[in-house]
Amino acid sequence: MALYLFVTFISFIVNFSLILPYINLLYRLKLQRRDQQTKDAFNKPTPIFDKLHNHKQGTPVGGGILIVLSTIVLYALSLVFFLLIRRPFIANYPAFGSEIKIILFTFVGFAVLGLYDDFSKMFNWEKTQFFGLRLRHKLVLEIILAVVASYWLFVDLKIDIMHIPFMGVYNLELWYIPFAAFIIVAFSNAVNITDGLDGLAAGVLLFALTAFWAIARSIIDMPTALFIAVWLGGLVAFLYFNIYPARIMLGDTGALSFGATFAVIGLVLGKAFALPIIGGVFVLEITSSLAQLLSKKFRHKKIFSVAPFHLYLQNRGWEEPKVVMRMWILGILFAVLGLMIAFMK
């Protein structure tokens, strides 16, 4: 365990050292949040959203880019180090390379998709489109990436079951691929939706990933545990500068990548049932948005004054730090509950 904690600490130091000059670089490159008039999925203006977020104009966007790049480099170096000291263990771990391939493919693939979306927003590449990529185009690309990762989970890691405590193990066979792809796409968008207030998504993700790190350590899943350890160090460093008032934002590069990779880690660990509980805050956020969307489409009226849930609370008069802190507490409770369920037989 000491080695994993050491890796987390080194990752924190490296990211913390880089983030201030990186923020200055973002200012020089003018990669900052623009004045925006956002629209919903029906191409209708969202004035409440804009009113509550206009004060964030000018804040550098791109924290996800730094964390993705630093995590990849530090993970590669950590793997080399572990190969040198744990070679006998790795030689007897047939899924070692496959796990690394699936996790890094998801981490990088969704980051590239988010990077394009970030640049579209900041530079108004296509003003006629939905804010960033068209929603349906982004969804198609997300599905393609998710299906590839799910196929590898099924073929390379031979994962095709779902364990539900007290009920048993269910073999999904080929249905596992669309099932896993749905989960990956859902969490990618859920984290993106949650990333609306300073420190909200990164903080909740920090607690949820810690729960998965505990699971990975308990089943001696070295590649996954090591990746989480490196990732956690970067998240802590980012969160230091992302808490209210944020000096840097995650952006879609980080949000899409982190949500999808979070889901893949849950699937790699065989904890598909515990995954939506450990990530309960993200499920709450995307469910509130989806319910609002469906109600507006089929009932032609809103359920909430505004969605997602964190925005609803903010519109009710809750101050931003209060919303974030209480969602963090909720995230801790979900992580503990999900961890308990994950260890049940």
Residues 49-61 pLDDT 10s: 566 667 678 889 9
Token code pair at residue 75 = 């993970």
Token code pair at residue 202 = 């990164």
Pick from 19-23, 59-63, 167-171, 220-224 the range whose average pLDDT is largest.
19-23
Phi, psi of 270 (to 5 degrees): 75, 30
The predicted pLDDT at position 37 comes to 56
Rounded to 10°, the helix 96-123/63-85 angle is 170
> Mean pLDDT across the stretch 152-156?
96
The predicted pLDDT at position 130 comes to 46
The predicted pLDDT at position 296 comes to 85
The residues that bridge with 164 in the sheet, in sequence order, are: 168
Q: What percent of the chain has pLDDT over 70?
A: 88
User: Considering only CA atoms, which of 306, 183, 206 is closest in space to residue 254?
Assistant: 206
The rounded distance, in Å, linking the Cα atoms of 62 and 248 is 7
Instruction: Give the model confidence (pLDDT) of 215-256 as tens digits.
Output: 999 988 989 999 999 999 999 999 999 999 999 999 999 999
Fill in the amino acid letter for 173.
E
The predicted pLDDT at position 128 comes to 44
The rounded distance, in Å, linking the Cα atoms of 47 and 256 is 24
> Mean pLDDT across the stretch 133-138?
75
The predicted pLDDT at position 247 comes to 94
Burial of 226 by CB count in 10 Å (0-12 exposed, 13-18 middle, 19+ buried)? buried
Q: Which of 52-61, 263-272, 306-315 has the lowest mean pLDDT?
A: 52-61
* Predicted model pTM: 0.92
The answer on pLDDT for 168 being more than 90 is: no
User: Considering only CA atoms, which of 242, 255, 244, 247 is closest in space to residue 285?
Assistant: 255
The rounded distance, in Å, linking the Cα atoms of 340 and 220 is 18
The predicted pLDDT at position 35 comes to 64
The predicted pLDDT at position 46 comes to 61
Residue at token pair 């008032």:
245
Token code pair at residue 290 = 């989806």
Q: How confident is the model at residue 140 (pLDDT cuts 50, 70, 90)?
A: very high
Asked whether the CA dihedral 27, 29, 35, 40 is positive or negative, the reply is negative
